[in-house]
Amino acid sequence: MILIPCVAPCCSAAVWDVHEQVAVSAMECGCKELALKLVKNVHKRFPEGARGSRLTGMYFELMLSPNEARSLYQKELDRDPNNPLMLKRMVGLKRGQGDLAGAAELLKQYLSAQGSQDWQAWEEAADLYLQLQMYQQAAFCFEELLLHAPADATRHLLYADTLYTLGGAHNWRTARTHYSAVIEMTRGQNLRALYGACACAAQLAGTRRGGSGGGEGEEEEGRRAAQAPQQQ
């Protein structure tokens, strides 16, 4: 955390980017004094503006003053109702307050209106829906993410896990397809995919052990992979 606090507000805009990044990191670590110092500096340099308000609002949230944060974000949203920074902060605020349904609804509106290419927002939406146990909606979010990055094994795994949790023969078959895709992508090295494929085969066969057809081959691989040495 090397910040040069002695550097006077100079012409370089990069210094303020660094202020912002370090302030956010300090808040994540709970370093309240450092965060306050940085947020004050930013506010002095940029008294108006959404980016500055975002940092100040985040500091209010850290200090457990959600109402101050909310009114700050709302003030900015009154000026520009489509400001993505403020909309996302509102989602974060609602999530921090435990209003997951409200956060998910707000995020859904943002994604429908302007955020369809905002992949971080889709990931956040998927996370919120999973916490709300709205697995169908979470699966939809993962589908969008897969369209964007079809070679991302992690997204395939999350999508397959969501379908498996949702349950039903159709979902287990689709999940098995995605687990198989990850096994192929990783040349059989991904244990989660191997376990997932075994679990789908077992569910489809209706028993805890044994599969049928292609499921048997996958189970054998899963067994072999699962026989890795355990520490004593």
Partner 1 sequence: MKSCTLSEDALLKVLLHAAKHPTTAVNGVLLGTVSGGDGAAEVSVTDAVPACHSFISLAPVLEAALSQLEAHAKEQQGTQSGLRIVGYYQANERLSDGELGAGRRFADRIEAAWPHSVALLLDGPALQAGLAQLTAAEGQAGGSGGSEQPVAQLFAKDGGRWTKVAAGGSGGFRCPTSGVVSRFAQLLGEGRHQQLHDFEEHLDDIALDWLNPTLLAGPA
- Where do contacts with partner 1 occur on this chain (CB under 8 A)? 96, 98, 127, 130-131, 133, 158, 160-162, 164-165, 191-192, 195-196, 199, 208, 226, 228, 230-232
**Residue 7 vs 169, nearer CB to partner 1:** 169
Residue 180 C-beta: closest distance to partner 1, Å: 14
For residue 62, give the amino acid letter. L
**Residue 52 vs 88, nearer CB to partner 1:** 88
Residue 27 C-beta: closest distance to partner 1, Å: 12
Residue 121 C-beta: closest distance to partner 1, Å: 17
How many CB atoms neighbour CB 225 within 10 A? Answer: 17
Q: Is the dihedral of CA 34, 40, 42, 45 positive or negative?
A: negative
CA–CA distances in Å: residue 212 to residues 192, 194, 198, 203, 208: 21, 16, 11, 11, 12
**CA distance linking residue 141 with residue 153, whole number of Å:** 16
**Residue 41 vs 165, nearer CB to partner 1:** 165
**CA distance linking residue 53 with residue 198, whole number of Å:** 50
Q: How many helices (H) and strands (E) does the chain have?
A: 12, 0
**Residue 50 vs 182, nearer CB to partner 1:** 182
Residue 86 C-beta: closest distance to partner 1, Å: 22
**Residue 15 vs 132, nearer CB to partner 1:** 132
**CA distance linking residue 86 with residue 81, whole number of Å:** 9
Residue 75 C-beta: closest distance to partner 1, Å: 26
